Amino acid sequence: MSKADSIKAEGKTSSLSLLDRVRIEVKNFNQSYALFWKSRTSWAITVMMFCTILCIQATVAMMSYSAYQNSRVEALIKASRTAISSVGFENTDKNNFISNKAAQGLLSQSSIQGFNIHTTEYELVNQYGQKPRIMLHRGEDMPQRFVDNKGHSLDYVFSPNDLGHPYYITARLDTRSISQDMAQYGRDAAVIILLLSALLTTVLMTALGYWFLQPTVTLTRLLKKAIANPETPQFPAHLKQAKEQGRLGDAMSAAMTLIEQNAQHIKQVKSTAESEIKKLAYFDALTELPNRTMFIEKLREYTKDIPDDEHFVVVTVDLDHFRQVNESMGHSVGDVILQSVAKRLRQSLPKRAIVARIGEDDFAVMLPIIKGVNTPKDIAQRVIDAIRGQGFTVMEEDFRIHCSVGYAVYPEDGSDPSDVLKNADIALSRAKEDGRDMIRAYSRDFDMAVQARFHLLKDLRHALENEEFELHFQPQFDLRSQKIIGAEALIRWWKPDNSKQGGMYISPGEFIPIAESSGLIVPIGEWVFKEACMTVQKLQLSGLDDLRVAVNVSGVQFRQPNLVETLQHIIYETGLDPKNLEIEVTESTFMGDINNTIDILKRLHETGVELAIDDFGTGYSSLAYLRQFPIDRLKIDRSFIMNALNNSDDASITRTIIALGHALNLKVLAEGVETIDHQTFLLEEGCDEVQGFRYAKPLPKEAFIDFCQNYKGDLSVFDKA
């Protein structure tokens, strides 16, 4: 750093010596000098200034040139007049006023190249040397002088008054030396003018540049730089002294202040926007907890310099059936519960725990594991206890919330934080699949199961496009009349493979849950309904008019807004009598918005189709609402029938369902009738209808039609099987 620089940097300009000040000034000047000549304006002003000075000087020079030329000509005339006057003229001889000798002397000793002598009556008397071009005439205006166009000679008329003799003399005067002198004069003047103009321009531009143009150029550059980089403008140190020096100092410091204010303003706006965006992008507005992105970010941060022997657990939580609370009680209640869950999680865990809301009703917790103090399971238990340990009171109503919990441990279950979270989520899904309200630790097997599910989902989409589904029909009988009353339509997926058989049947129990969770059940369900309707048509063509086909409809389909319209449309298109169709719904369908479910059931019933509750007794107890459901039939779940003969509980459940159904004026159908003992028991208990392997397994359409046509209305034929 030069001395000048260091002095500048310290900002002690006021205490500088004169020499230092001059040095700084020269340095600054040199810096801005280069800029100065880059400016077009500077060049334009320089050229204009030079031209103006040149013009002024040229005008002055022209004036002095002609004055000088005139003075030279007048001197020539005067000298010629003196020379002529000094010659003796004789008045006696009319034809010879001057002697030849005198005339020759005049021509040789003066600038006179020739002359004519005229009387006062303009009569030419004598002529010597070159002939002047002015001719004297009476009565005409005569020129007194005439200059030849080359500037070599001047013809001049000397009058008697000039000469003091009674003659006119027209003389040709030699002006060549004057012309030469004037040319030299012109050349010298041009050089001087040019030099002077350049000198004046330089001096003026230096002054103008120093006081005005350079600061203007610098100011312009400063503003341009500030426009290009408004956020962090940088001012050369010397500019800060501009004010002291008075070189557009006020404008400069006003501009700098404005630029600084602008930068400050931009920074402020940016940082406010940044923190706002960060808040929106990384935090959940409702609970003010970090969101999934922020949670992973925090885990990443944490793992950056984590000791090798440190482990932490990531626990993920899903509130069981929270959607139903939201739908039935309104979102404001749901929001209060979510806020309370967030608060409880925070309060029940140590400060170093990271708590986040990673989905609608999903939370995540991270806590380091300290040997001998806590285990992953303890932490997961603490989380589950915090939520279900106590009810949530909202608007004086008490809500019991249960939750499913999954956890994974770093680094055993994933070396990357997002993998640990993903695996905790997989464990959580397992907890939900296993019946909710429980804790599951991540295991590699779950991962494989998830992969398998992904493959299955892909194949399922393909199956729908390639028509790999079939409908099989399992006959249903009236126990008393022993007649076939209809069949339940059960989907089958024939999945082609490279085996000898060319493929295999995949059980609906395996793919329906996946179809449900992916939403694929909606188009599949539509296909089933259409296929069932077409089968009813076929049955009627085969003379089996009274048979009814029961179709399973999933809860997911029930949540579609246009379910009723879609089914109505299919019934209308196939021209069926709706009474030949039945819709089976499971009790889980009624969870959620119960009023909406009742409304859909009513609308379906109004179309004329029959309604049955499938797997009755296994699910969520809908007894309280049963009276309001417009249903025709209860289907006792096969698990009760299967054990009814050796388990008194199951037998009494079966009895109760039959009694309940009859009390509500409903038909009761028992599923899973496999033996004659099952049949006998059900008959004794007053069950109305049966379905099961004792009579037939689900059959392909053609086989089912054959079965119906061959059946003689006597259930005892199945005793032999």
Q: Which residues bind ligand C2E (CB under 6 A)?
A: 474, 490-491, 507-509, 512, 525, 528, 552, 554, 584, 614-615, 638, 671-674, 691-693, 698
- Residue 208 or 645 having the CB closest to ligand C2E: 645
Residue number, 218 or 552, with CB nearest to ligand C2E: 552
With CB cut-offs between 5 and 8 Å by kind, which of ligand C2E, Mg ion, none does residue 490 bind? Answer: ligand C2E
Given a contact cutoff of 8 angstroms between Cβ atoms, the answer to whether 431 and 423 are in contact is no
Minimum distance, C-beta of residue 447 to ligand C2E, in the bound complex (Å)? 26
Residue 218 partner contact from ligand C2E, Mg ion, none using kind-dependent CB cut-offs of 5 to 8 Å: none
- We find the least distance from the C-beta atom of residue 373 to Mg ion, in angstroms, to be 49
Give residue 167's region: left, alpha or beta (phi > 0; psi -120 to 50). Answer: beta
Q: What are the CA-CA distances from residue 330 to residues 317, 325, 334, 395 (Å)? A: 22, 7, 7, 12
Measured distance CA(129)–CA(102) in Å, rounded: 13
Residue whose CB is less far from Mg ion, 340 or 474 = 474
Distance of closest approach, residue 471 Cβ to ligand C2E, in angstroms: 7
* Binder of residue 509, out of ligand C2E, Mg ion, none (CB less than 5 to 8 A by kind): ligand C2E
Residues paired with residue 157 on neighbouring β-strands, in sequence order: 170
- CB 601, min distance to Mg ion, A: 16
Q: Using CB distances below 5 to 8 A depending on partner kind, what does residue 491 bind out of ligand C2E, Mg ion, none?
A: ligand C2E
CA distance 17 to 11: 14
Based on CB atoms, which residue is closest to ligand C2E, 441 or 551? Answer: 551
Distance between CA 399 and CA 339 in Å, rounded? 14
Q: How far is the CB of 568 from ligand C2E (least distance, A)?
A: 19
CB neighbour class for 25 (10 Å; exposed up to 12, middle 13-18, buried from 19): middle
Q: Give me the least distance between CB of 565 and ligand C2E, in Å please.
A: 19
Is the Cβ–Cβ distance between 574 and 537 less than 8 Å? Answer: yes
Choose between 141 and 465: whose C-beta lies nearer to ligand C2E.
465
Q: Would you say 354 or 673 has its CB closer to ligand C2E?
A: 673
Pairing of strands 392-394, 397-399: antiparallel
Instruction: Round to whole Å and give the CA distance between 47 and 40.
Output: 11
Residue 390 CB, shortest distance to ligand C2E, in Å, is 36
Calculate the alpha carbon distances from 151 to 231, 237, 311 in Å.
74, 66, 114
**Pairing mode, if any, of strands 403-410 and 439-441?**
parallel
**Which of Mg ion, ligand C2E, none interacts with 528 (beta carbon under 5 to 8 A by kind)?**
ligand C2E
Q: Which does 508 bind (CB under 5 to 8 A by kind): ligand C2E, Mg ion, none?
A: ligand C2E
Minimum Å distance from CB 502 to ligand C2E? 21
Nearer to Mg ion by Cβ, of 587 and 615: the residue is: 615
The distance of closest approach from Cβ of residue 641 to ligand C2E in the complex, given in angstroms and rounded to an integer, is 8
Owner of token pair 């103008």: 208
- C-beta atoms surrounding 48 within 10 Å: 11
Instruction: Judge contact between 317 and 355, C-beta under 8 A.
Output: no
DSSP-assigned letter for residue 423: H
512 binds, among ligand C2E, Mg ion, none (CB under 5 to 8 A by kind): ligand C2E
> Cα–Cα distance between 451 and 161 in angstroms, integer?
136
- Contact partner at residue 406 from ligand C2E, Mg ion, none, CB < 5 to 8 Å by partner kind: none
CB 373 within 8 A of CB 351: no
CB atoms inside a 10 Å sphere around CB 402: 14
Q: Which long-range contacts (CB under 8 A, 24 or more apart) does 235-242 make?
A: 236/31, 237/8, 237/9, 237/11, 238/8, 238/24, 238/27, 238/28, 238/31, 240/11, 241/13, 241/24, 242/215
Q: Give whichever of 103 and 658 is closer to Mg ion, judged by the CB atom.
A: 658
CA distance 290 to 359: 11
* Complex with Mg ion: residue 358 or 626, whichever CB lies closer: 626
Nearest to 386 by CA among 432, 338, 435, 343: 343
Q: Which is nearer to Mg ion, 362 or 671 (CB)?
A: 671
> Which residues contact Mg ion by CB under 5 A?
552, 584, 614-615, 671
Nearer to ligand C2E, 116 or 654 (CB): 654
Contact 479, 499 (CB under 8 A): no
693 binds, among Mg ion, ligand C2E, none (CB under 5 to 8 A by kind): ligand C2E
Q: How far is the CB of 507 from ligand C2E (least distance, A)?
A: 5
Return the number of other C-beta atoms located less than 10 Å from residue 123's C-beta. Answer: 12
Q: Decide which of ligand C2E, Mg ion, none touches 290; Cβ closer than 5 to 8 Å per partner kind.
A: none
Answer with the entry of Mg ion, ligand C2E, none that 698 interacts with (C-beta below 5 to 8 A by kind): ligand C2E
Closest by CA to 294, choosing from 284, 282, 305, is 282
Judged on CB neighbours under 10 Å (0-12, 13-18, 19+), 597 is buried
Say what the alpha-carbon torsion angle 564, 569, 572, 574 is, to the nearest 10 degrees.
Answer: -120
Given the complex with ligand C2E, which of 318 and 671 has the nearer CB atom? 671
Query: What element of type H or E holds 571?
Result: helix 563-574
Shortest separation between residue 695's beta carbon and ligand C2E, angstroms: 9
Whose Cβ is closer to ligand C2E: residue 204's or residue 676's? 676
